[in-house]
Amino acid sequence: MGTPSDIKLIDENGLRVDGRTPEQLRPIKIQTDVLNRADGSAYIEWGGNKIMVAVYGPREAYPRHTQDIERAIVKARYNMAAFSVDERKKPGPDRRSVEISKVISEALQAAILVEQFPRAQIDVFIEVLQADAGTRIAGLTAASVALAAAGVPMRDLVVGCTAGKVDGQIVLDLCREEDNFGQADLPMAILARSGKVVLIQMDGDLTTEEFDRATSMILNATKRINQIQREALQGKYIAEQGGE
């Protein structure tokens, strides 16, 4: 997270590099049932991010020694396509994708009624086709829609957003330039209704006041994003009825 002082990320009118106001989200679109072979799937476009999610299961966990006799295990795999970033991403898992897979798995596990499926495994494949900052949150937000579309019993949808510090100001939903050259990046996800925090990470430094402002901006935004998730799921059911 470099901070070259010659890069101006907020102009004299208070607008950001992509013309947004500090609390404005990038455009978000979510579509369900985009893959035929998956039990559930979702595709999200969030700003320049394009991410596909496929859900399989619950199905018997394999190999057997990985089974938990009390609950299903949730295995999310976050992967960036080689062509998803400016410089070709070397295929295969790296430290970053292993970390992101872990935090996403834990966040989803908090939402899924895992105790209903002992010895089972739920696989969630998150494929980033185009990356533009905020992919872990966009992937997680789409994954919870894909799980719901698969009919996996859940307490709640997981919804998230990032906020960060750019040119000394707290702003919502960082784009790539802001992520690269800003001073802090705070991805966070909650259970939509209860507000329980299921993912929070921070890169860079914020004061306590800045942290409070960032988290309250995120919480505000999750209401709008959750609405988009629910509309995507309603769209699914309308389409299904229409097809009968």
Name the residues that contact ligand CDP, by CB under 6 A.
85-86, 89, 96, 131-136, 176, 179, 185, 187
Please report how close the Cβ of residue 183 comes to ligand CDP at its closest, in angstroms. Answer: 13
Cα 215 to Cα 160: distance, rounded to the nearest angstrom? 11
Cα 46 to Cα 131: distance, rounded to the nearest angstrom? 10
Please report how close the Cβ of residue 184 comes to ligand CDP at its closest, in angstroms. Answer: 11
Instruction: Count each helix (H run) and each strand (E run) in the chain, helices first.
Output: 4, 10
Nearest to 138 by CA among 35, 46, 76: 46
Residue 171's SS3 state is strand
Residue 12's SS3 state is coil
DSSP assigned state of 215:
H
The smaller minimum CB distance to ligand CDP, of residues 33 and 185, is found at: 185
The smaller minimum CB distance to ligand CDP, of residues 32 and 97, is found at: 97
CB 144 within 8 A of CB 163: no
Cα 28 to Cα 146: distance, rounded to the nearest angstrom? 16
Burial 146-180 (b: 16+ CB within 10 A, else e): bbbbbebebebbbbbbbbbbbbebbbbbbbbbbbb
Please report how close the Cβ of residue 169 comes to ligand CDP at its closest, in angstroms. Answer: 19
Please report how close the Cβ of residue 25 comes to ligand CDP at its closest, in angstroms. Answer: 15
Please report how close the Cβ of residue 84 comes to ligand CDP at its closest, in angstroms. Answer: 8
The smaller minimum CB distance to ligand CDP, of residues 6 and 86, is found at: 86
CB 200 within 8 A of CB 186: yes
Please report how close the Cβ of residue 12 comes to ligand CDP at its closest, in angstroms. Answer: 27
The smaller minimum CB distance to ligand CDP, of residues 58 and 187, is found at: 187
The smaller minimum CB distance to ligand CDP, of residues 114 and 142, is found at: 142
Please report how close the Cβ of residue 126 comes to ligand CDP at its closest, in angstroms. Answer: 11
The smaller minimum CB distance to ligand CDP, of residues 92 and 243, is found at: 92
Nearest to 20 by CA among 171, 170, 122, 142: 171
The smaller minimum CB distance to ligand CDP, of residues 100 and 157, is found at: 100
